[in-house]
Protein backbone atom coordinates (compact mmCIF):
# COMPACT_ATOMS: atom_id res chain seq x y z
CA UNK A 1 0.00 0.00 0.00
CA UNK A 2 1.27 3.45 -0.88
CA UNK A 3 1.72 5.83 2.01
CA UNK A 4 -0.91 8.05 0.42
CA UNK A 5 -3.43 5.21 0.89
CA UNK A 6 -2.56 4.22 4.47
CA UNK A 7 -5.80 5.68 5.86
CA UNK A 8 -7.98 4.91 2.84
CA UNK A 9 -11.54 4.19 3.90
CA UNK A 10 -11.08 5.72 7.37
CA UNK A 11 -13.02 8.67 8.80
CA UNK A 12 -11.46 11.32 11.03
CA UNK A 13 -12.91 14.18 13.06
CA UNK A 14 -10.57 17.08 13.82
CA UNK A 15 -11.73 19.81 16.20
CA UNK A 16 -10.40 23.35 15.97
CA UNK A 17 -9.73 22.60 12.31
CA UNK A 18 -10.35 25.93 10.59
CA UNK A 19 -6.71 27.06 10.88
CA UNK A 20 -3.32 26.43 12.43
CA UNK A 21 -2.51 23.03 13.91
CA UNK A 22 -6.00 21.61 13.37
CA UNK A 23 -6.06 22.45 9.67
CA UNK A 24 -2.54 21.05 9.21
CA UNK A 25 -3.60 17.79 10.89
CA UNK A 26 -6.75 17.54 8.78
CA UNK A 27 -4.71 18.09 5.62
CA UNK A 28 -2.17 15.43 6.56
CA UNK A 29 -4.84 12.85 7.40
CA UNK A 30 -6.61 13.63 4.14
CA UNK A 31 -3.37 13.22 2.20
CA UNK A 32 -3.12 9.75 3.72
CA UNK A 33 -6.56 8.91 2.33
CA UNK A 34 -8.90 9.63 5.24
CA UNK A 35 -12.27 11.32 4.82
CA UNK A 36 -12.10 14.27 7.20
CA UNK A 37 -14.82 16.03 9.20
CA UNK A 38 -13.66 19.51 10.19
CA UNK A 39 -15.11 21.15 13.29
CA UNK A 40 -14.79 24.75 14.52
CA UNK A 41 -17.12 27.49 15.70
CA UNK A 42 -16.73 29.96 12.83
CA UNK A 43 -18.73 28.56 9.92
CA UNK A 44 -17.22 30.85 7.28
CA UNK A 45 -13.62 30.11 8.28
CA UNK A 46 -14.41 26.41 8.49
CA UNK A 47 -15.95 26.24 5.02
CA UNK A 48 -12.98 28.12 3.59
CA UNK A 49 -10.64 25.55 5.15
CA UNK A 50 -12.71 22.63 3.87
CA UNK A 51 -12.82 24.15 0.39
CA UNK A 52 -9.04 24.46 0.43
CA UNK A 53 -8.71 20.77 1.29
CA UNK A 54 -11.22 19.74 -1.37
CA UNK A 55 -9.23 21.62 -3.98
CA UNK A 56 -6.31 19.34 -3.07
CA UNK A 57 -8.43 16.24 -3.65
CA UNK A 58 -9.28 15.60 0.00
CA UNK A 59 -12.79 14.50 0.98
CA UNK A 60 -13.59 17.16 3.59
CA UNK A 61 -16.82 17.93 5.45
CA UNK A 62 -17.32 21.24 7.31
CA UNK A 63 -19.51 20.95 10.42
CA UNK A 64 -19.60 24.07 12.65
CA UNK A 65 -19.97 23.23 16.34
CA UNK A 66 -19.19 24.61 19.79
CA UNK A 67 -17.14 21.82 21.33
CA UNK A 68 -18.02 22.96 24.86
CA UNK A 69 -21.67 21.96 24.32
CA UNK A 70 -22.59 18.32 24.63
CA UNK A 71 -25.61 18.58 22.33
CA UNK A 72 -23.53 20.10 19.54
CA UNK A 73 -20.84 17.42 19.92
CA UNK A 74 -23.52 14.73 19.68
CA UNK A 75 -24.85 16.33 16.49
CA UNK A 76 -21.31 16.61 15.06
CA UNK A 77 -20.59 12.93 15.62
CA UNK A 78 -24.00 11.81 14.33
CA UNK A 79 -23.80 13.87 11.14
CA UNK A 80 -20.24 12.74 10.48
CA UNK A 81 -21.31 9.11 10.81
CA UNK A 82 -24.31 9.60 8.54
CA UNK A 83 -22.32 11.43 5.87
CA UNK A 84 -18.87 9.82 5.97
CA UNK A 85 -19.25 6.59 7.92
CA UNK A 86 -18.07 5.19 11.28
CA UNK A 87 -15.40 7.29 12.99
CA UNK A 88 -11.94 5.77 13.13
CA UNK A 89 -9.92 8.77 14.31
CA UNK A 90 -10.76 11.64 16.66
CA UNK A 91 -8.25 14.46 17.05
CA UNK A 92 -9.14 16.71 19.97
CA UNK A 93 -7.27 19.85 18.96
CA UNK A 94 -9.59 22.74 19.84
CA UNK A 95 -8.09 24.99 22.48
CA UNK A 96 -7.71 28.56 23.66
CA UNK A 97 -5.16 30.43 25.75
CA UNK A 98 -5.79 33.03 28.44
CA UNK A 99 -2.65 34.32 30.11
CA UNK A 100 -1.88 36.69 32.95
CA UNK A 101 -1.66 36.65 36.76
CA UNK A 102 -4.19 34.15 38.09
CA UNK A 103 -5.48 36.67 40.62
CA UNK A 104 -6.53 38.97 37.80
CA UNK A 105 -8.46 36.27 35.91
CA UNK A 106 -12.24 36.03 36.18
CA UNK A 107 -14.48 33.06 36.82
CA UNK A 108 -15.61 33.44 33.21
CA UNK A 109 -11.98 33.13 32.05
CA UNK A 110 -11.60 29.93 34.05
CA UNK A 111 -14.83 28.46 32.68
CA UNK A 112 -14.06 29.38 29.07
CA UNK A 113 -10.57 27.90 29.16
CA UNK A 114 -11.36 24.72 31.09
CA UNK A 115 -14.49 24.07 29.04
CA UNK A 116 -12.64 24.49 25.74
CA UNK A 117 -9.36 22.79 26.59
CA UNK A 118 -10.56 20.00 28.86
CA UNK A 119 -14.32 19.46 28.98
CA UNK A 120 -14.55 19.38 25.18
CA UNK A 121 -12.15 16.43 25.06
CA UNK A 122 -14.31 14.53 27.54
CA UNK A 123 -17.46 15.33 25.54
CA UNK A 124 -16.06 14.41 22.13
CA UNK A 125 -14.28 11.28 23.32
CA UNK A 126 -17.37 10.12 25.19
CA UNK A 127 -19.41 10.60 22.01
CA UNK A 128 -17.18 8.43 19.80
CA UNK A 129 -16.12 5.78 22.33
CA UNK A 130 -19.19 3.49 22.32
CA UNK A 131 -19.05 2.88 18.55
CA UNK A 132 -15.27 2.45 18.66
CA UNK A 133 -15.69 -0.09 21.47
CA UNK A 134 -18.33 -1.94 19.45
CA UNK A 135 -16.02 -2.04 16.41
CA UNK A 136 -12.93 -2.77 18.58
CA UNK A 137 -10.83 -0.18 16.78
CA UNK A 138 -10.07 3.52 16.86
CA UNK A 139 -7.59 6.26 17.60
CA UNK A 140 -8.12 9.24 19.89
CA UNK A 141 -5.37 11.85 19.74
CA UNK A 142 -5.41 14.68 22.26
CA UNK A 143 -3.34 17.75 21.43
CA UNK A 144 -1.93 18.65 24.81
CA UNK A 145 1.10 20.86 25.52
CA UNK A 146 4.41 20.92 27.33
CA UNK A 147 2.53 23.36 29.57
CA UNK A 148 0.87 20.23 30.92
CA UNK A 149 4.22 19.12 32.30
CA UNK A 150 5.67 22.41 33.56
CA UNK A 151 4.62 25.64 35.20
CA UNK A 152 5.31 29.27 34.36
CA UNK A 153 4.22 32.69 35.56
CA UNK A 154 0.98 33.98 34.03
CA UNK A 155 -0.02 30.53 32.80
CA UNK A 156 -1.95 29.16 35.79
CA UNK A 157 -5.32 28.49 34.16
CA UNK A 158 -3.80 27.31 30.89
CA UNK A 159 -1.40 24.95 32.68
CA UNK A 160 -4.24 23.65 34.86
CA UNK A 161 -6.23 22.73 31.74
CA UNK A 162 -3.29 20.96 30.10
CA UNK A 163 -2.20 19.11 33.24
CA UNK A 164 -5.81 17.95 33.53
CA UNK A 165 -5.84 16.93 29.88
CA UNK A 166 -2.80 14.73 30.32
CA UNK A 167 -4.45 13.04 33.29
CA UNK A 168 -7.65 12.51 31.32
CA UNK A 169 -5.70 11.15 28.36
CA UNK A 170 -3.84 8.62 30.49
CA UNK A 171 -7.01 7.32 32.11
CA UNK A 172 -8.78 7.10 28.76
CA UNK A 173 -5.89 5.09 27.37
CA UNK A 174 -6.06 2.57 30.22
CA UNK A 175 -9.83 2.20 29.91
CA UNK A 176 -9.90 1.80 26.12
CA UNK A 177 -6.77 -0.18 25.26
CA UNK A 178 -8.46 -3.51 26.03
CA UNK A 179 -11.02 -2.65 23.34
CA UNK A 180 -8.39 -2.11 20.66
CA UNK A 181 -8.62 1.69 20.91
CA UNK A 182 -5.41 3.70 21.19
CA UNK A 183 -5.33 7.03 23.01
CA UNK A 184 -2.29 9.28 22.65
CA UNK A 185 -1.32 12.73 23.89
CA UNK A 186 0.81 15.01 21.72
CA UNK A 187 2.61 17.68 23.74
CA UNK A 188 4.21 20.39 21.60
CA UNK A 189 6.07 23.40 22.87
CA UNK A 190 5.33 26.79 21.34
CA UNK A 191 4.07 26.49 17.76
CA UNK A 192 4.23 29.31 15.23
CA UNK A 193 0.49 29.95 14.78
CA UNK A 194 -1.99 32.75 15.51
CA UNK A 195 -2.84 31.02 18.82
CA UNK A 196 -0.92 33.36 21.09
CA UNK A 197 1.76 36.05 20.82
CA UNK A 198 5.37 34.91 20.89
CA UNK A 199 7.14 38.17 21.61
CA UNK A 200 10.87 38.01 21.06
CA UNK A 201 10.84 34.55 19.47
CA UNK A 202 12.03 33.76 15.96
CA UNK A 203 9.07 32.01 14.23
CA UNK A 204 11.42 30.19 11.87
CA UNK A 205 12.99 28.40 14.85
CA UNK A 206 9.69 27.49 16.47
CA UNK A 207 7.70 24.31 15.93
CA UNK A 208 5.43 24.52 12.90
CA UNK A 209 1.86 23.27 12.56
CA UNK A 210 3.06 20.67 10.05
CA UNK A 211 5.44 19.27 12.68
CA UNK A 212 2.48 18.46 14.93
CA UNK A 213 0.56 17.03 11.97
CA UNK A 214 3.52 14.75 11.23
CA UNK A 215 3.42 13.39 14.78
CA UNK A 216 -0.32 12.70 14.54
CA UNK A 217 0.18 10.91 11.22
CA UNK A 218 2.87 8.73 12.76
CA UNK A 219 0.56 7.76 15.63
CA UNK A 220 -2.38 6.74 13.46
CA UNK A 221 -0.28 4.74 10.98
CA UNK A 222 1.76 2.68 13.43
CA UNK A 223 1.40 -1.10 13.54
CA UNK A 224 -1.66 -2.29 15.50
CA UNK A 225 0.20 -4.22 18.18
CA UNK A 226 1.36 -1.19 20.15
CA UNK A 227 0.63 2.46 20.77
CA UNK A 228 2.62 5.53 21.76
CA UNK A 229 0.91 7.03 24.77
CA UNK A 230 2.67 10.40 24.75
CA UNK A 231 4.78 12.47 22.37
CA UNK A 232 6.78 15.49 23.55
CA UNK A 233 7.86 17.94 20.85
CA UNK A 234 10.48 20.67 20.98
CA UNK A 235 12.20 22.72 18.29
CA UNK A 236 15.77 21.78 17.39
CA UNK A 237 16.93 25.29 18.19
CA UNK A 238 15.54 27.40 21.00
CA UNK A 239 13.66 30.27 19.34
Catalytic residue set: 158
For 47-101, write each residue's pLDDT tens digit: 999 999 999 999 999 999 999 999 999 999 999 999 999 999 999 999 999 999 9
All structural domains of the chain = 3-233 (3.40.50.720)
Residue of 43, 26, 34, 30 lying closest to 7 (CA atoms): 34
For 100-154, write each residue's pLDDT tens digit: 999 999 999 999 999 999 999 999 999 999 999 999 999 999 999 999 999 999 9
Amino acid sequence: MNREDMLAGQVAIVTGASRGIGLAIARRLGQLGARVSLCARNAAHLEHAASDLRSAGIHALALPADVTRGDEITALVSQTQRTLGPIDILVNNAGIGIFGPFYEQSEADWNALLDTNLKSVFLASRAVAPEMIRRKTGHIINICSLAGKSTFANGAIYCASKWGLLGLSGCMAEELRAHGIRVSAVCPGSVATEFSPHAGKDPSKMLQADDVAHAVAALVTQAPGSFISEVQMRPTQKP
